[in-house]
Structure 1
Amino acid sequence: MSSVVAKAGLEIRNVGKLFTQPGKGDFRALDDVSLFIKPNEFFTLLGPSGCGKTTLLRMIAGFEYPTEGEIRLNGDEISDLPPYQRPINTVFQNYALFPHLTVDQNIAFGLEMLRRPKGEIDKTVDEMLRLVKMTEMRGRKTSQISGGQQQRVALARALAPHPKVLLLDEPLSALDLKLRKEMQIELKRLQHETGITFVFVTHDQEEALTMSDRIAVMSAGKVLQVGSPRDIYDHPANRFVANFIGETNFLTGTVLSAAPGRADIKLGTGAVIAAGVPDGMTPAGEVTVVVRPEHAVITDPETAAVKGTVDTVVYFGTDTHYHLKLDSGAPFTVRQQNRRGREVHLAAGQPVGIDIPGGVAQVLRD
């Protein structure tokens, strides 16, 4: 990576982290992780518990130090700097507000610790209150406001010093579903309005897909794929990513022919489908193909190449999930949007056909 590009954002270079556990040996939490996070980007670290995403966030913040590798911000190495010397702030999962202080006092606290002039502090607090839509709550103690309002205050306090990077460690996990969805929109708005780089940690795929400019999917201390939400959802790099991001059907087939970007695959059912192929891959022999449930269509079993029977039907309001069993015995799910007047009524045991349009299936690398 060129030095010109390196000076433009946050760079993680070949970072590893080894924890020594007394009596248990060493545990490698991160293994040769390299990432480049662009300025003014909403970047998400996504993965299951224990994958290393929070460890990486803590190293960016300065609460942990790399065993190997380095971290650079705008071209300057910050790996060994303590947290207070980094232009980086963190919003924690539990918000860490002072319950005995008012909303505006909480927001002002960090600025006071930085010994900013009182006039500047007052002006910044007013600006932050307007930004998070909490002006009318400024005089209330944070113990007297709701969880969603507390989250807004934590965001305002972290944004007040105008950090170059804001780290968010699963800040929505304690909120109920409706409020969590509202705050997803608010976080994206705040990031857009402030122009600050957000690095967001979550295990929730919906949060990642909804808010992120780019996502890094992590597992067992490694980064498996980096890309836009659409790229990762539609073109997963491997089985783990495909399985972790949304529901997925896995089919096994044999390559009949291949060209750059596409291949004809003969499934175990005997049906032949056209599938997309990852860049640089020339598939051969037996491969695994993924099909998202919403990309397949239930059709007439008399004319369909892929056939099965209905196992269960689950109604979700906006859509219905049809859990099927293919003639080969493999499970398969189709998700169809519910449209008034165009409902599909199927019963358990009913034979169905499955249409897999050309290009919606994707061959996996592994």
Structure 2
Amino acid sequence: MQQRTDTPGADRAMVQAERVTKTFGRGADGVTALDDVSVTIRENEFFTLLGPSGCGKTTLLRLIAGFELPSAGRILLDGAEIGHLPPYRRPVNTVFQNYALFPHMTVAQNIAFGLEMQGKPTAEIGGTVARMLDLVKMERLADRRTDQLSGGQQQRVALARALAPHPKVLLLDEPLSALDLKLRKEMQIELKRLQNETGITFVFVTHDQEEALTMSDRIAVMATGEILQVGTPKDIYNHPARRFVADFIGDINILDVDLDKIDEGRGVVRLPGGATASAALPEAEMRPGAVSVAIRPENVLLTGPEDGARTATGEIERVVYFGSAHNVHIRLDDGPPIVARAPHAPGGAGDRAGVILPDEHLQVLVD
């Protein structure tokens, strides 16, 4: 299979959800799993639906696959509406959490199964199976039964079987959740490699922020049946627009402050201790008043308590060492606790410290 030559994130739409709502049950007993969701997933990109359990991400995946039908709205694939097509007639394949392999079949037979159901010629099946075995690096295990494989090997077989018909879209429903931490990290790299080499659009569902940040071209953060923000991993991490997104993705400090005014597209906020700072504003229109601002621990700078450049001062409550850095927990004077991440701790519990909250890393949030 040839290396793809196009750029991920190209403008051509592969999957589109247009004002999709999905309700289970009726009347007062009805539960809305998706509420007027619209999103476009581009051709040849690794797109992740990220959110906590019950946010609607798996429901959206099942609507694309055809295992569920929308209560309202429509799903398009490569420009064509697919709501009337049963799952087996949609040019998509799904890899489930439990892989759903046939234990009595060999690795090669599992990969060939879908092609045989499509009535492909024997020679074509053999060639495709050989390419898939090479793609997932399972050539030497082609004749082994899948119930004799490790969890990571079984996942590779499931991926090869799903990729063999070369679908337009591959749907992955938390496929790494059953693996141990080390293997999960290895498979994150493998999944991204497979997507790069095949050029197939991957739609990946997970509740694991690290997985999403590691593999994705873009991420849609979901909660309570809605998509709150769509962006690249860097956009989502560095510029969260909503409080939920900021709090859900990585470690972050969230401070309740006053927005005094808007100045040249940025918000002038009053921080604990009385200092003012300039913070980035979300796209939503903002007005002066009580708001929240966010800053990542690695962007909080530590100084001496008498340093004239400090934004605020406080007392170190504890220092947590975790190998590559220290998390320094500081209780600000007349303010909330804040965490700074630094290579070296400036002191220990009970010591005084100053902190600097750089303007370029402060972000006003929408609740």
TM superposition score category, shorter chain reference = over 0.9
Q: Which residue pairs with 1:14 in the alignment?
A: 19
User: In structure 2, how many angstroms separate the alpha carbons of the residues matched to 1:333 and 1:7?
Assistant: 42
Structure 1 position 359, deviation (Å): 1.1
- 1:305 is aligned, of 288, 308, 311, to 311
Is this contact kept in 2: 1:102–1:139, CA < 8 A? yes
1:233 matched to 2:237? The reply is: yes
Q: Which residue pairs with 1:279 in the alignment?
A: 283
Structure 1 position 347, deviation (Å): 1.4
Q: How does 1:203-222 map to 2 (within 5 A)?
A: 203-222=207-226
Partner SS, residue 140 of structure 1: coil
Partner SS, residue 32 of structure 2: strand
User: In structure 1, how many angstroms separate the alpha carbons of the residues matched to 2:157 and 2:322?
Assistant: 35
* TM-score where L is the length of structure 1: 0.94
Identity of aligned residues (%): 60
Structure 1 position 21, deviation (Å): 7.0
User: In structure 2, how many angstroms separate the alpha carbons of the residues matched to 1:152 and 1:346?
Assistant: 48
The count of corresponding residues between Structure 1 and Structure 2 is: 356
Is this contact kept in 2: 1:251–1:288, CA < 8 A? yes
User: In structure 1, how many angstroms separate the alpha carbons of the residues matched to 2:156 and 2:184?
Assistant: 12
- 1:265 is aligned, of 248, 264, 269, to 269
Partner SS, residue 213 of structure 2: helix
Q: Which residue pairs with 1:37 in the alignment?
A: 41
Partner SS, residue 359 of structure 1: helix
Is this contact kept in 2: 1:51–1:221, CA < 8 A? yes
Partner SS, residue 359 of structure 2: coil
Deviations 1:7-46 (A, max 9, x none): 7311101111110179x71111110000111000110000
Deviations 1:138-189 (A, max 9, x none): 1111111111111111100000000000000000011111111111111111
Q: Which residue pairs with 1:291 in the alignment?
A: 295
Closer, same or farther: CA 272–321 of 1 in aligned 2, 3 Å:
same
- 2:58 is aligned, of 48, 54, 64, to 54
1:163 matched to 2:164? The reply is: no
Partner SS, residue 187 of structure 1: helix
**Structure 1 unmatched runs, 5+:** none
Partner SS, residue 191 of structure 1: helix
Partner SS, residue 197 of structure 2: helix
Q: Which residue pairs with 1:353 in the alignment?
A: 354
User: In structure 2, how many angstroms separate the alpha carbons of the residues matched to 1:109 and 1:73?
Assistant: 25
Structure 1 position 344, deviation (Å): 2.5
Is this contact kept in 2: 1:78–1:86, CA < 8 A? yes
Give the letter aligned to residue 102 of structure 2. Answer: F
Q: How does 1:81-96 map to 2 (within 5 A)?
A: 81-96=85-100
Give the letter aligned to residue 267 of structure 2. Answer: A
Q: Which residue pairs with 1:323 in the alignment?
A: 329
User: In structure 2, how many angstroms separate the alpha carbons of the residues matched to 1:21 and 1:317?
Assistant: 53
User: In structure 1, how many angstroms separate the alpha carbons of the residues matched to 2:269 and 2:42?
Assistant: 38
- 1:177 is aligned, of 170, 181, 185, to 181
* TM-score where L is the length of structure 2: 0.93
User: In structure 1, how many angstroms separate the alpha carbons of the residues matched to 2:84 and 2:55?
Assistant: 23
User: In structure 2, how many angstroms separate the alpha carbons of the residues matched to 1:260 and 1:108?
Assistant: 61
Q: Which residue pairs with 2:250 in the alignment?
A: 246
Q: Larger deviation: 90-99 or 248-257?
A: 248-257
Structure 1 position 297, deviation (Å): 1.4
User: In structure 1, how many angstroms separate the alpha carbons of the residues matched to 2:175 and 2:237?
Assistant: 23
User: In structure 1, how many angstroms separate the alpha carbons of the residues matched to 2:129 and 2:142?
Assistant: 9
Partner SS, residue 16 of structure 1: strand
User: In structure 2, how many angstroms separate the alpha carbons of the residues matched to 1:118 and 1:210?
Assistant: 38
Give the letter aligned to residue 306 of structure 2. Answer: E
User: In structure 1, how many angstroms separate the alpha carbons of the residues matched to 2:188 and 2:71?
Assistant: 34
User: In structure 2, how many angstroms separate the alpha carbons of the residues matched to 1:141 and 1:298?
Assistant: 57
User: In structure 2, how many angstroms separate the alpha carbons of the residues matched to 1:317 and 1:261?
Assistant: 39
User: In structure 2, how many angstroms separate the alpha carbons of the residues matched to 1:260 and 1:193?
Assistant: 45
User: In structure 2, how many angstroms separate the alpha carbons of the residues matched to 1:273 and 1:7?
Assistant: 41
Structure 1 position 239, deviation (Å): 0.7
Closer, same or farther: CA 260–157 of 1 in aligned 2, 3 Å:
farther
User: In structure 2, how many angstroms separate the alpha carbons of the residues matched to 1:193 and 1:291?
Assistant: 37
1:123 matched to 2:127? The reply is: yes
Partner SS, residue 9 of structure 1: strand
Is this contact kept in 1: 2:312–2:332, CA < 8 A? yes
Is this contact kept in 2: 1:70–1:79, CA < 8 A? yes
CA RMSD of aligned residues (A): 1.7
User: In structure 2, how many angstroms separate the alpha carbons of the residues matched to 1:63 and 1:217?
Assistant: 22
Structure 1 position 307, deviation (Å): 1.0
